[in-house]
Amino acid sequence: MTSTVLVEIADGVAVLTLNRPDVRNALNARVLAELRSALESLRADDGVGAVVFTGAGGRAFAAGADIAQLRDYTVHTGLAADMQRLYDEIEAFEKPTIAAINGYALGGGCELAMACDIRVACPAAKLGLPETMLSVLPGAGGTQRLARLAGVGRAIELILTGRLVSAEEAREIGLVTAVADDPVGAAHDTARRILARGPLAVRLAKLVVRTGIDTDQRTGLVVERLAQALLYTSDDKREGAEAFLAKRPATFTGN
């Protein structure tokens, strides 16, 4: 049986490719299970420093939940919230995550992209949350993450109307980070830049930003100070400073 999630690792970067191109990489229970399994393996792989998500076929990143399964969803399905819980795991993943949006990113596909730290879209990409047309709402984090990325007013407009936005508009409103002709290549370039930094600093910086955005500024600043104090004790801090002064590349160990 063909895997619905392909995993390729090279130069410290893992690429997870949603592999259902015949249905625009629609997300069903099997895809979610394979994504979760892949992430568990990558979390324990010290040779992987960043994770890129993309879609197979060149037409779509992911066109949302599989409507064939949606017909059978019940109140218990909603309360279980399997997709929402998985995307929470992706948002909290210890290693940087990048969505390479190479086509349509709709519904659960858009929500997957929003759970990533960085989003790069091709010029032809279309993003949106059209769930209200099916008399459901974006239930995998879309109501919350879109509001944080694009603002409350814009989020309400896009969710209530189901309007799709172009890659350029998505960039303008903060829904995507950048637009590139080759989003997977651009994601690799970004990942390589991240991998050249201190891995402990990268991990803690992501943690501090994610934690601070959901609390008040004073609390966020306390978390920032504690993280910085911890980094000041690290071997990598000493190596970074010494390498800079010696005008040589740093060799970080993550300690």
Closest by Cα among 159, 144, 158, 78 to 114: 144
- H helix or E strand, kind and range, residue 71: none
Cα–Cα dist 65/43, whole Å: 25
Indicate which residue of 8, 111, 168, 172 is catalytic: 111
Cα–Cα dist 160/174, whole Å: 19
Question: Three-state DSSP class for 200?
Answer: helix
With contact defined as beta carbons under 8 Å apart, do 40 and 72 qualify? no
Cα–Cα dist 61/58, whole Å: 8
Looking at residue 174, the DSSP 8-state letter turns out to be: T
Pairing of strands 104-106, 126-128: parallel
Cα–Cα dist 21/89, whole Å: 25
Indicate which residue of 89, 91, 131, 172 is catalytic: 131
The C-alpha angle 75, 163, 91, rounded to 5 degrees, equals 60
Distances in Å between the alpha carbon of 255 and those of 95, 97, 243? 15, 21, 16
Look up 89 and say whether it is catalytic: no
Cα–Cα dist 73/227, whole Å: 42
Look up 111 and say whether it is catalytic: yes
The catalytic site residues sit at 111, 131
